[in-house]
Amino acid sequence: MPLPLSPEAFVAELDTQNRAALDRIGANAAAGEPDAALTVARLLMLALKNEIEATECAAAWIGDTPEVAVKLALARQAGDEAKHYRLIQNRLGELGVATDAHDPLAAGRSKLCEYLLALQGTVARVAAGQFTREALAVVRNAEFARFCRAKGDDATARLYEETIQPDETHHHALGRELLLQLATTNEAQAAARASSARVLEIADELQELARLKMGISRAPGC
């Protein structure tokens, strides 16, 4: 069996592979003209589901994660995602949309959330959740902020650019630091590659499904 890559070389390789997929997903999100019925408020309602799912995933992994550094990173992430939920909820209220009785999981959890909740192993979780899903969120949120600006909604754009995006960037950076500590064997690196690739594959599928079935593009991440 060949020797594993150094952690630094492995993370650089994974980053390069992910970037190609993220660039494609970002380009697809921005392609064409958005549906005329698409509004900032409608996309923010979708964001509530993304944020509650991200909160649940991070919180669900804390209990059976043995590494203290990862537990603390997950706790930080769960708190941030819950904060994002409340901030988006408040913004929807400013836009005249009441959400107090809204259940973002009424239609069930997304395929991506179900995959993440079932995922086992710290390295696989870090690669899938913090390193990859949060990088995906940064890409999608940037496109959503541009959509908000185009709609004349600078307040929502600033919420994402000044508060939500810095948090997601920090989560991704935490994932990178943790992978450098954890992805030290062939087995760990294989698990990280597989879970990361699967997250991007599911995200691509869900994005295309939303575009074709509901005319949704420019949707934010978590």
Q: pLDDT for 134-177, tens place per residue?
A: 999 999 999 999 999 999 999 999 999 999 999 999 999 999 99
Is 222 within a domain? Answer: no
pTM over 0.85: yes
Q: pLDDT: is 111 or 26 the higher one?
A: 111
Cα separation, 190 vs 39, in Å, equals 41
* Segments forming the whole domain that contains residue 207: 7-28+37-214
Domain count within the chain: 1
Nearest alpha-carbon partner for 124 in 194, 64, 76: 194
Is 181 within a domain? Answer: yes
- Residue type present at position 173: A
Is 22 within a domain? Answer: yes
Contacts of 138 (CB under 8 A, 6+ apart): 165, 168, 169, 172, 221
Q: In the prediction, which pLDDT does 167 show? A: 98
Is 219 within a domain? Answer: no
- 34 pLDDT tier (thresholds 50, 70, 90): confident
Is 43 within a domain? Answer: yes
Q: In the prediction, which pLDDT does 212 show? A: 62
Is 1 within a domain? Answer: no
Tell me the pLDDT tens digit for each residue of 112-133: 999 999 999 999 999 999 999 9
The CA-CA-CA angle for residues 67, 138, 100, to 5°, reads 85
Q: In the prediction, which pLDDT does 79 show? A: 98
Q: What is the CATH number of the domain that holds 155?
A: 1.20.910.10
Is 221 within a domain? Answer: no
